[in-house]
Amino acid sequence: MSRPDTLRRTLAVARAEWIHNWRDPRSLAIIIALPIMLLLLYGYAINFELRELTFAVQDWDRSEQSADLIDTLARSDYFTFHSLVETGEQIERLIEGGEVRFAIVIMPGFGEQIAAGKTGRVQVLLDGADSTTAGIAQGYLEGVMRAHSARLMKRWAKSRGIPASAAQPPIQPEPRVLYNPELKTASFIVPGLIAVIMTMLAALLTSGCIVREREAGSFEGLASSPIAPVEIIIGKLLPYAGIAVFDVMLCIATGGLIFHIWPSGDRAALLVVSLVYLIASLSIGLTISSVARSHQVATLIAFLTTMLPTMLLTGFVFPVRSMPKLLQYISQMIPATHFLVVIRAIYLKGTGVGPYIREVTALALISLVFVVVAAKAFRKSLE
Amino acid sequence: MPRDGGPAIEVNALTKRFGDFVAVDHISFTIDRGEVFGFLGPNGAGKSTTIRMLSGLLLPSEGSATVDGLDVGTETATLRTRIGYMPQLFSLYPDLTTRENLEFYGGLYGVGDDAIVRRIEELTQTIGLQSVLDQLTGTLSTGWRQRAALACAIVHEPPIVFLDEPTSGVDQQARQQFWDLIADLAAGGTTVLVTTHLMEEAERCTRLGMISRGSLIALDTPRALLETLEGLVFVVDVDEPLAGVRALSERSFVRDVGLSGTRIRVRVAEDLSDVRARLGQALATAGIAVREIRPTRPSLEDVFVALVGDAGGEDQ
Amino acid sequence: MAEASVRTKGLCKRFGEIVAVDGLDLRVEAGEIFGLVGSDGAGKTTTLRLLTGLMAPDSGEIMVAGVDVRAYPEDARRRLGYLPQTFALHGDLSIAENIRYFADLFCQDLGEVAERRDELLDATGLAEFTERRAQDLSGGMKQKAALICALIHRPTVLLLDEPTRGVDPVSRRDLWQIVYELPAEGVTVIVATPDADEAERCSRIGVIAGGAIVDAGTPEELVARHTARLIEVATEPTRQARRLVHDMPGVRAVSALGGHLRVSLEDDGPSADEISSALADEGLRVEGVREVEPRLEDALLALEVERDAA
């Protein structure tokens, strides 16, 4: 078996698969519409929640400045003012009862500090049981407060005749999260969501490509040619690797445009690591496609085997270090566990992949294992 | 309820389009009660689409049809109780026995419990199902499966039966027996519409419609259709049949030529004088020794090819 | 040349309880057009799949073009062309793209492929449709396109699994025309078919039933072996007539066509007159009786009857 022959057969399979994807409307819909749709659906759900964000205020200060802050929050598009409360117990009751999503506690001396050009302290109490909403609420709250703060700062600096940059930020919100200390913010959720959506999508993409040929009959033509199983697997992987990276870009763009959250670190490196990561999922899809009896079954298995573990065992929702030991070991074998660390770092910390070489190596190893599994699972036979 | 007065099936300019594709193109025919009407044509010609329209499974795009006096577009619910339909694909439950399948289909058509017992006994006799009554249909040979499927299709004693490619892939004996069953049904007054792409067996129909690319290209008794080619088909016995086929296919008066075993079967143009001499000369010119040239009985396939092929029409 | 082109010995293949191929011995010489004739479920498709190595036999030997298929399946595949019963092309690829795909899978020289392709496109009349997607072709065109792809690597053995099932008669003739040319190029062809009419076009046939070859020979040999005299009786109604004649002694088999019976008789069976008077006695109308030449379908029917009797 000479090398050019191997390459030629592999590329023949890749080319046929590539053409198929561009000509089949269903495939195109999965490639282009599905990732955008999933992110949009999630975005819509969160936006809907945001319109409902009611809050209570405990104002120890009762100054002009505190009233100004409450007024600003109440007039924002995102928040609805519920009531002024007197005690901490009242706040807890309101949050527990679901009547408000968060509460603001304005500390005594807030007005005086602002007036003196110092930092006034505000405590924010969030309902962390619904971490998604809480995270988004916190994000918006910080945004609103920051804008308010900047206005105050400008006003203060102007009144003193000094440049605004010399001033201290006048309001420092101190978020304290109830019930869920590991609160995830929107900027934390979006990269995680990209990891989950892409791992599922990648497996979905390839889960059909062998069983479909079996169902259509073209498998017999392929299998009765002298092509080797590994050539078929690599040939099938190639076009989908390209498609998967394209979809990651689509997800990043959608996340940026809808959630206003863009990766702040090395974006090229992110795409490369995504590719390494997704080869594992693509190979899982191919493995399923080799053994599944029908296209539908393959799709369902691909969905279940990628979506569930990725959502539950990788730190997307529940932090890995709070899991039982056994599950922690298992989570190490799931590619998304490692990828989440890298993608979050690139999004949030603005780094490259340099510090995460351990995770990238793990991803490469896992992907390699799954490619080998896919090649072994593939049978050039009709039995 | 029974509308024994009129024809069993009346089809008027029936048309079915799928997007741009015209699957059935303005076909018209009438089938009388007790006929075995054969619908003859290659796969994709529009046979199954027509049957599906006639059984109320597909709505016509244009034209009209009545089956047992019922309009196929508007009276489908009643229509379905008046017809038996045996689809091309094996439609029985493979993990049920023949008897259980019969009971199931009987139940579907509302045949009562007592009636079904009697009916199964009847069908066992007429179709000869004794030996397979309690076997899982999934384990039956193709011939037996088709018989069991026929029994299920007529368990509710419909006056009209549609059989879609019922003898595809069964052996010669089973094929003969199946056609005997069809003849029995017709003798009992049932109207049978049967599709097939196998031209030889279509001779057992009382009347044939040949369909090609959605259009009806011929409608007559098998005998009348065969007579159109009487005296035009010859069998030629030569030493080198392949070379002979090649030599003859170059001649303009030869309409169709192919091998039949080691002999050449050739159809020539109409109104030729002295065909044998012409054939002999064509072969002699190519240096092929001829042992015998004699006329033979034309087949329905010859008729079909003559109708479709002579126009030079390849399927587009 | 002494070595057969395709040879199997004691080939067996079981699927659970079902024995699909049961000690099949096959010997097909180079340059033959060999018909593997049997009904659905007789083991035709399984046999072809065993020959291509798409299925592994439970036991037995398979040699194709001098290669042991079990030991060197990929070498055998290079020498094999296979037209499966299911449509084996990619539906959303054009004819040209499908041809290129198979040329690549078999690593053919593209210059030679171009020549071969044009030759085959001409022969099939598909030259003007090369840009059309395979799924948009008619049944006959699909099969012709699939045949081109199966021949593009110049196989020495070509396996055709019911190549003309459901295909219009005109395309069917085109397909056979291509097949007829192959022996001259040294190609051995095996055609699986349930159809006597199709089998008659082969140079030699093997009748397969219950997963084994029950008889083999040229169509003429089989006709000679399994039929003696054949008479055609024009009579109505054919159904009763068939039953009546079927039960007469000395009658091997009866088949009914429209309006007449074909009766296969023993040498010492009833004469044409005896048959027609027997029918007349039962009140059936007899319009004519004549001796005709037996055909392969008569032989196959007689063979089935013999096997059932045994």
What pLDDT, in 10s, does the model give residues C194-249? 988 889 889 899 999 999 999 999 998 999 999 889 998 988 777 788 888 888 89
Residue of A nearest to C78 (CA): A226
Complex ipTM > 0.90 = no
Are C198 and C258 found together in one domain?
no
**How far does C72 lie from chain B, in Å, by closest CA?**
33
Q: Residue B314: phi, psi to the nearest 5? A: -100, 150
| pLDDT (0 to 100) of residue B28 | 96
Are A134 and A216 found together in one domain?
no
Which of B258-262, B279-283, B288-292 comes out lowest in average pLDDT?
B258-262
Domain-located, residue C88? yes
Domain-located, residue C74? yes
Quick check: helix, strand or coil at residue A157? helix
| pLDDT (0 to 100) of residue A272 | 94
Q: Which pairing describes strands C229-236 and C260-265: parallel, antiparallel, or unpaired?
A: antiparallel
> Per residue in B170-199, pLDDT tens?
888 888 889 888 988 998 899 999 998 777
- Final residue belonging to a domain, choices C161, C192, C219: C219
| pLDDT (0 to 100) of residue C295 | 86
Are A136 and A201 found together in one domain?
no
Measured between beta carbons, the chain C residues lying within 8 angstroms of A218 are 87-91
State the total domains in chain C: 2
Cβ distance B313 to C170 less than 8 Å, yes or no, reads: yes
Domain residue limits at A112 = 52-178
Exposed, middle or buried by CB within 10 Å (0-12, 13-18, 19+), for A293? exposed
Are A237 and A340 found together in one domain?
yes
Cα B31 from Cα C2, distance rounded (Å)? 60
**Given A11, A13, A226, which is nearest C74 (Cβ)?**
A226
Contact between A59 and A107 under an 8 Å Cβ cutoff? The reply is: no
State the total domains in chain A: 2
Domain-located, residue C270? yes
Residue C68 has pLDDT above 80, yes or no: yes
**How far does C173 lie from chain A, in Å, by closest CA?**
24
Contact between C278 and C270 under an 8 Å Cβ cutoff? The reply is: yes
Q: Residue B220: phi, psi to the nearest 5? A: -170, 180
| pLDDT (0 to 100) of residue C27 | 95
* Residue A319 CB neighbours (<10 A): 11
**Given C82, C92, C104, which is nearest A20 (Cβ)?**
C92
Residue B312 has pLDDT above 50, yes or no: no
Quick check: helix, strand or coil at residue C15? strand
The counts of H helices and E strands in chain A are 16, 5
- Average pLDDT score over chain B: 88
- Final residue belonging to a domain, choices C219, C253, C277: C219
- Final residue belonging to a domain, choices A178, A210, A233: A178
Q: Residue C298: phi, psi to the nearest 5? A: -65, -40
Domain-located, residue C299? no
Contact between C157 and C77 under an 8 Å Cβ cutoff? The reply is: no
Are C188 and C273 found together in one domain?
no
DSSP code for B97:
B
Contact between B132 and B164 under an 8 Å Cβ cutoff? The reply is: no
Structural domains of chain B in order of their starting residue, each with its CATH number? 9-226 (3.40.50.300), 231-297 (3.30.70.100)
- Average pLDDT score over chain C: 90
Residue C57 has pLDDT above 90, yes or no: yes
Cα B85 from Cα B96, distance rounded (Å)? 19
Are A137 and A212 found together in one domain?
no
Report the amino acid identity of residue B171: D
Q: What is the CATH number of the domain that holds A139?
A: 3.40.1710.10
Contact between A203 and A302 under an 8 Å Cβ cutoff? The reply is: yes
Are C234 and C115 found together in one domain?
no
| pLDDT (0 to 100) of residue B100 | 93
N-term to C-term CA, chain C? 38
Cβ distance C173 to B309 less than 8 Å, yes or no, reads: yes
Residue of B nearest to C136 (CA): B316
Give CA torsion, residues B140, B143, B144, B149, to 10 deg.
110
pTM, 2 dp? 0.80
Are A292 and A235 found together in one domain?
yes
Alpha helices (H) in chain C, listed in sequence order: 44-52, 73-79, 95-105, 110-124, 139-151, 169-181, 196-199, 219-226, 238-246, 272-281, 296-309
Q: How many CB pairs (< 8 A) connect A and C? A: 87
Cα A153 from Cα A162, distance rounded (Å)? 11
> Interface partners of A (3+ CB pairs, < 8 Å)?
C
Domain-located, residue A259? yes
Are C98 and C74 found together in one domain?
yes
Are C214 and C232 found together in one domain?
no
Are C202 and C94 found together in one domain?
yes
* Residues 276-305, chain B, touching C (beta carbon < 8 A): 301, 304-305
* Residue B69 CB neighbours (<10 A): 19
Quick check: helix, strand or coil at residue B117? helix
Are C215 and C233 found together in one domain?
no
Contact between C85 and C161 under an 8 Å Cβ cutoff? The reply is: yes
Are A214 and A346 found together in one domain?
yes
Q: Residue A41: phi, psi to the nearest 5? A: -55, -45
- Final residue belonging to a domain, choices A151, A178, A205: A178
Are C47 and C98 found together in one domain?
yes
Q: Which residues of chain A register pLDDT less than 50?
A: 1, 176-184
> Per residue in C256-308, pLDDT tens?
877 788 899 988 888 888 888 888 888 888 888 888 888 898 899 889 888 88
Nearest C-alpha neighbor of C25 from the set C57, C2, C67: C57
Are A154 and A223 found together in one domain?
no
Contact between C158 and C150 under an 8 Å Cβ cutoff? The reply is: yes
* Residue B113 CB neighbours (<10 A): 9
Measured between beta carbons, the chain C residues lying within 8 angstroms of B242 are 180-181, 183-184
Are A373 and A230 found together in one domain?
yes
**How far does A335 lie from chain C, in Å, by closest CA?**
33
Are C46 and C157 found together in one domain?
yes
Tokens linked to A90? 């009242």
Domain-located, residue C129? yes
- Final residue belonging to a domain, choices A178, A206, A230: A178
Residue of C nearest to A213 (CA): C90
How far, CA to CA in Å, does A47 sit from each of A16, A79, A177? 42, 12, 21
- Final residue belonging to a domain, choices C175, C190, C219: C219
Interface mutation target, options B190, B257, B259, chain C, most CBs of C under 10 Å: B259
**How far does C104 lie from chain A, in Å, by closest CA?**
6
Residue of A nearest to C108 (CA): A5
Q: What is the CATH number of the domain that holds C124?
A: 3.40.50.300
Nearest C-alpha neighbor of C203 from the set C186, C185, C216: C216
Domain-located, residue A383? no
User: Could you identify the residue written with the tokens 């979050």?
Assistant: A344
Residue C153 has pLDDT above 90, yes or no: yes
Are A126 and A215 found together in one domain?
no
CB distance from C222 to chain B under 8 Å?
no
Tokens linked to B107? 């139940």
Residue of A nearest to C72 (CA): A226
**CB proximity list for B258: less than 8 A, separation 6 or greater:** B245, B264, B265, C173, C176, C177, C201
Residue of B nearest to C169 (CA): B305
Cβ distance B184 to C239 less than 8 Å, yes or no, reads: yes
Cβ distance A216 to C91 less than 8 Å, yes or no, reads: yes
User: Could you identify the residue written with the tokens 């008729």?
Assistant: B303
Domain residue limits at C269 = 228-293
Domain-located, residue C308? no
**How far does C213 lie from chain A, in Å, by closest CA?**
23
Domain-located, residue A18? yes
Are C248 and C204 found together in one domain?
no
Are A207 and A125 found together in one domain?
no
Domain-located, residue A207? yes
Domain-located, residue A382? no
Domain-located, residue A231? yes
Are A173 and A190 found together in one domain?
no
Are A225 and A161 found together in one domain?
no
> Rg of the Cα trace of chain B?
23
Across residues C156-183, what is the average pLDDT?
A: 89
- Residue of A318 and B59 predicted with greater confidence: B59
Measured between beta carbons, the chain C residues lying within 8 angstroms of A223 are 54
